[in-house]
């Protein structure tokens, strides 16, 4: 493969066929940036998005996608018009996104935000496609059946999140039984040094002002409350078959060390890189090869200082709730995730205060434990059914709520 200015390169190989689910989000856009730089190294079988017709059409044109699917079934005509004059086939609706996931591909990039990504990613997995996983909810909602399906299908499940990708590389094929600790790092988000009282009154704009990463609104709000780290611990538990008691979070404001693995002999390996999502994305796109990318190079002498601190569970109760859900197991992580998604949505709509997110999630988990909703799902379908129940309850509980208080789930 030819090397040029800013172009990705690897050892000469046939073009890899890619399906990109969640093409219009932050991970999708970063993936497209890499794919555009190497049109001879990759071809795109399909792209899928949620509601943004113009953005999906731009992506489809940029990567010359063979097929484009939009989840909003009412957007078919608009997408068809936006892609007129191209050879891209168009479809709309839930089934269309699943069809995109099942297109012929060497790798399916799962970057749909939220539980909406579970069904199409599971379809790709069971069809024998290797999956690069940027969607946390697949494993948080349905980790046991999801990993079982991956094993039965004999496919690779490559972690695309920066933390899990760093740990995957730091493991280096070592025996998981020799792991003493697995550590996920957290930047601390925009509220790392804020008091509990100030955090409770944070505005939407303040929560979206992440110091290190440019991400979508949902994950940015999760990061502000450290719920994202809790979800990542649940994900790591399933990805790496590591028990909850061996998983830890450490706050690292510089976002240079993304994950660490401590072994039985006292050795510790760390995955380090400048905070740019194109680095873990490139690792997955090229695996097992290494691609050459235009991402910033790490200069430790220039950075000079790396700091670490323990998380504060009192100021960030969402992290403790996620850890409790992981330890409890069953369907509680599914409940936690669904309630959190709806609460974050309500916060972004300015219907509840920032600390209302964690309070609502706590109430949802308590209600699910009382009525049996948190029983362990035996299948992905069971997990999605629990997700649906909790979402409906959460929407009802949060409907029209003033920012001053919370309602108990019925």
Alpha-carbon gap, residue 94 to 119, rounded angstroms: 9
Q: Give the gyration radius of the chain's Cα atoms.
A: 21
Q: How many CB atoms lie within 10 A of CB 400?
A: 6
Give the DSSP H or E segment for 44. strand 42-49
Binding site listing for Mn(2+): 161, 163, 232
List all residues 6 or more positions away from 51 whose beta carbon is below 8 Å from its beta carbon.
70, 71, 72, 75
Q: How many CB atoms lie within 10 A of CB 118?
A: 25
Binding site listing: 24-27, 50-51, 135-137, 161-163, 187, 210, 216, 223, 228-229, 232
Question: Are 325 and 229 within 8 A, CB to CB?
Answer: no
Token pair in block for residue 224: 């502000």
Burial class, 269, CB count within 10 angstroms (exposed 0-12 / middle 13-18 / buried 19+): middle
Binding site listing for NADPH: 24-27, 50-51, 135, 137, 216
Tell the residue number behind the tokens 């030819």, with chain if given: 2
- Choose among 385, 378, 375, 327: nearest CA to 148: 378
Alpha-carbon gap, residue 71 to 131, rounded angstroms: 20
Tell the residue number behind the tokens 């059914």, with chain if given: 385
- Helical H segments across 155-216, by residue range: 162-171, 196-200, 204-207
Helix (H, G, I), strand (E, B) or coil at 222: helix
Provide the pairing of β-strand 179-186 with 257-263: antiparallel
* DSSP assigned state of 361: H
Provide the pairing of β-strand 67-70 with 89-92: parallel
Query: Sign of torsion, CA 38 10 151 145?
Result: negative
């Amino acid at each position: 493969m030819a090397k040029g200015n800013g172009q990705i390169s690897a050892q000469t190989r046939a073009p890899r066929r890619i399906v990109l689910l969640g093409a219009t989000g932050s991970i999708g856009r970063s993936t497209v940036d890499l794919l555009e730089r190497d049109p001879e190294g990759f071809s795109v079988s399909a792209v899928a998005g949620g509601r943004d017709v113009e953005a999906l059409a731009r992506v489809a044109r940029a990567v010359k996608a063979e097929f484009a699917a939009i989840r909003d079934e009412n957007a078919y005509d608009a997408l068809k018009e936006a892609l007129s004059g191209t050879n891209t086939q168009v479809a709309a609706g839930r089934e269309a996104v699943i069809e995109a996931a099942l297109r012929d591909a060497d790798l399916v990039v799962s970057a749909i935000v939220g539980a909406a990504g579970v069904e199409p990613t599971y379809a790709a997995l069971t069809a024998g496609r290797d999956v690069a996983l940027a969607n946390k909810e697949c494993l948080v909602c349905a980790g046991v059946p999801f990993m079982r399906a991956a094993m039965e299908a004999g496919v690779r499940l490559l972690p695309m999140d920066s933390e899990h990708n760093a740990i995957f590389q730091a493991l280096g094929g070592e025996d998981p039984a020799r792991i003493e600790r697995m550590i996920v790092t957290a930047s601390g988000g925009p509220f790392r040094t804020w008091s509990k009282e100030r955090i409770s009154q944070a505005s939407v704009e303040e929560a979206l002002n992440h110091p290190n990463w440019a991400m979508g609104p949902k994950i940015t709000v999760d990061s502000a409350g450290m719920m994202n780290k809790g979800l990542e611990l649940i994900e790591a538990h399933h990805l790496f078959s590591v028990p909850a008691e061996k998983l830890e979070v450490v706050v690292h404001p510089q976002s240079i060390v993304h994950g660490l693995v401590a072994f039985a002999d006292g050795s510790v390996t760390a995955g380090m890189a400048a905070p740019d999502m194109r680095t873990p994305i490139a690792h997955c796109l090229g695996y097992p090869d290494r691609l050459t990318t235009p991402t910033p190079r790490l200069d430790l002498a220039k950075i000079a200082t790396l700091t670490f601190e323990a998380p504060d569970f009192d100021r960030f109760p969402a992290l403790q709730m996620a850890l409790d859900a992981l330890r409890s197991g069953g369907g509680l992580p599914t409940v936690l995730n669904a309630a959190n998604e709806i609460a974050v949505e309500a916060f972004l709509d300015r219907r509840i205060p920032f600390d209302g997110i964690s309070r609502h999630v706590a109430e949802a988990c308590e209600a699910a434990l009382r009525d049996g909703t948190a029983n362990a799902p035996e299948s992905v379908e069971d997990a999605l059914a629990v997700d649906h129940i909790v979402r409906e309850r959460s929407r009802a509980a949060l409907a029209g709520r003033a920012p001053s208080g919370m309602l108990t789930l019925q």
